[in-house]
Amino acid sequence: MREKLEFIGLNKRNYFIHSHSPLQTNRETIIFFNPMFDEKKRVQKFQCETARALCRLGYTVIRFDYYGTGDSGGDTFEFDFSTVYSDFSYLIDHIKNTFSPEGIILFGIRLGADLALMNSISEPTIKHLILVEPIIDGKRYLLELRMRKKLFYNLNKIQSNKEQLLIQEQKFEDFQGYPMSFENLAYLEKMNLSDSNIIDKSVTIFKTNSISNKKLVVKFKEKIEIKKSSSVNIHYVDCPEFWAALESVDTSTLTQQIITFISNN
Amino acid sequence: MINIFKKKEIVISTNESFEQIKQLVTTILGDDTQQIDLKLDTKFEDIGFDSIKFINLLLGLEDLIDIDLETIAAEIDPASIQTLNDVVQLLDKLKKH
């Protein structure tokens, strides 16, 4: 297995890309979509272990940071959902030119699952998606984030928490150090995976017992399958440690179930 | 007499709620709870709770009594939650909805 970390210019923006290339490729490429906010840090080890395990199966695995996040260019406040969509086609072109894959699978975690699914709509060649703990309802996710922010301030005894930030004369809402523009907040308010118009895709969801809210995932499956445009399978995984604590957790159960599923399909 | 009856009812409810909260906290903390004796006055900051574990506890309430997160958000004052008892009181309040 060979791993390469590089910066690539896509649509005039600097992107950090981490590629995992197998010694013997099966000509399939899996693109990882990160979660956002502090959830990105929490899944770092899980992502790394899963990417390497998939690579050992023969998949080329691509991990990247959205513009304004992680190692990619741009300040944190420059992250924009519309940029994720506008630059995805450039990323796909880069992957096709570099790895010549016969198939591309999108692998998204939490909010990354939503971004993977929405991006797949404009790419009919993408037939399969693997979503780990997807956010089904953006409005509800915002409510969770706002409650978490208050709980975080309370737990850490932070008194003067500013609800709004002013950066370059633009208003942002602060989420424990991650500023979100009002355009991004409006996008999240409207986002609902159950309303997405996905056609001819096979969606596999991995739902752990570390985060509640199983009903929304089941409703998503029902709504998509009523349209008969795509199939949705849900795998429930006993992995309560998934979010337990930063990188010191054992998420091997979840990785193993994903590997077993991919090996058998 | 009516007052005594009501008082007894609240005590029983609180005990049940405490057991439910203990169960949820134990599930969220996993192996870490084996050596912790959870009591009503146990502080969340003393048992390694962070904001994600906290929100999971609140989502657990949602499943436990089939109430939506919006209602929980309307009833909760995050700044007032310090101990298990604070969440037990919240659960008792939510059960009356």
**Closest CA–CA distance from residue A51 to any residue of chain B (Å):** 24
Q: What was the pLDDT predicted at B56? A: 83
Beta strands in A144-230 (DSSP E): 164-167, 170-175, 178-181, 202-208
Parent domain of B45? 2-95
Examine the pLDDT at A38 and tell me if it is beyond 90: no
| Alpha-carbon gap: A125 to the closest alpha carbon of chain B (Å) | 36
CB spacing of B78 vs A140 below 8 angstroms: no
Say if residue A262 is exposed, middle or buried (CB neighbours under 10 Å; 0-12, 13-18, 19+).
buried
pLDDT exceeds 60 at position B7: no
Sheet holding A170-175, edge to edge: A164-167, A170-175, A178-181
Do residues A48 and A247 touch, judged by C-beta distance below 8 A? no
> Residue range B44-68: average pLDDT?
84
pLDDT exceeds cutoff 70 at B91: yes
Q: What is the per-residue burial (b if ≥16 Cβ within 10 Å, else e) of A11-39? A: eebebbbbbbbbeebeebbbbbbbbbbbb
pLDDT at B11 over 90: no
Supply the DSSP string of A9-31, one letter for each residue. EETTEEEEEEEEE-SS--SEEEE
Of residues B54 and A82, more confidently modeled: A82
Q: Where are the beta strands (DSSP E) in chain A?
A: 2-10, 13-21, 28-33, 60-64, 103-109, 128-132, 164-167, 170-175, 178-181, 202-208, 231-237
Residue A247 confidence class, pLDDT cut points 50, 70, 90:
very low
DSSP state for residue A194 in the 8-state scheme: G
Name the residue facing A155 among B28, B50, B56 (closest C-beta). Answer: B50
Distance CA(A176)–CA(A88), nearest Å, equals: 27
Most confident of A244-258, B33-47, B55-69, B83-97: B83-97
Q: Does A212 touch chain B (CB under 8 A)?
A: yes
Contacts of B69 in chain A (CB under 8 A): 140, 143-144
Residues sharing a CB contact under 8 Å with residue A140, sequence separation 6 or more, in sequence order: A216, B69
What CA–CA distance (Å, rounded) separates A166 from A179?
10
pLDDT at B19: 92
Q: Longest C-alpha distance within chain B, in Å?
A: 46
Confidence tier at B10 by pLDDT (50, 70, 90): very low
* Per-residue model confidence (pLDDT) at position B86: 92
Q: pLDDT tier at A244 (50, 70, 90 boundaries)?
A: low
CB contact (8 A) between residue A240 and residue B27? yes
* Whether the predicted interface score ipTM is above 0.85: no
- Residue A75: Cβ within 10 Å count: 11
Tell me which of B28, B46, B49, B51 to substitute to probe the interface with A (most A C-beta atoms closer than 10 Å): B51
Q: Quick check: B65 contacting A, CB < 8 Å? A: no
CATH code, domain with B15 = 1.10.1200.10
Is pLDDT of B26 > 90? no
Measured between alpha carbons, how far is B20 from B65 in angstroms, rounded to an integer? Answer: 10
Q: Please state which CATH number belongs to domain A2-137+194-264.
A: 3.40.50.1820
Domain ranges of chain A: 2-137+194-264, 138-190
| B61 to chain A: closest CA residue | A212
Residue type, A41: K
Residue-wise pLDDT tens digits, A190-231: 999 999 888 899 999 999 876 666 788 888 999 888 887 889
CA distance A98 to chain B (A): 39
pTM of the model: 0.86
| pLDDT at residue number A160 | 62
Into how many domains does chain B fold? 1
Show the DSSP H helices in A156-251 as ranges.
182-190, 214-227
Is residue A96 within 8 Å of A224, Cβ to Cβ?
no
Question: Which of A69-83, A221-235, A241-255 bottoms out in mean pLDDT, i.e. has the lowest?
Answer: A241-255
Helix/strand/coil percent split, chain B, to 5: 75, 0, 20
Q: Does A207 touch chain B (CB under 8 A)?
A: no
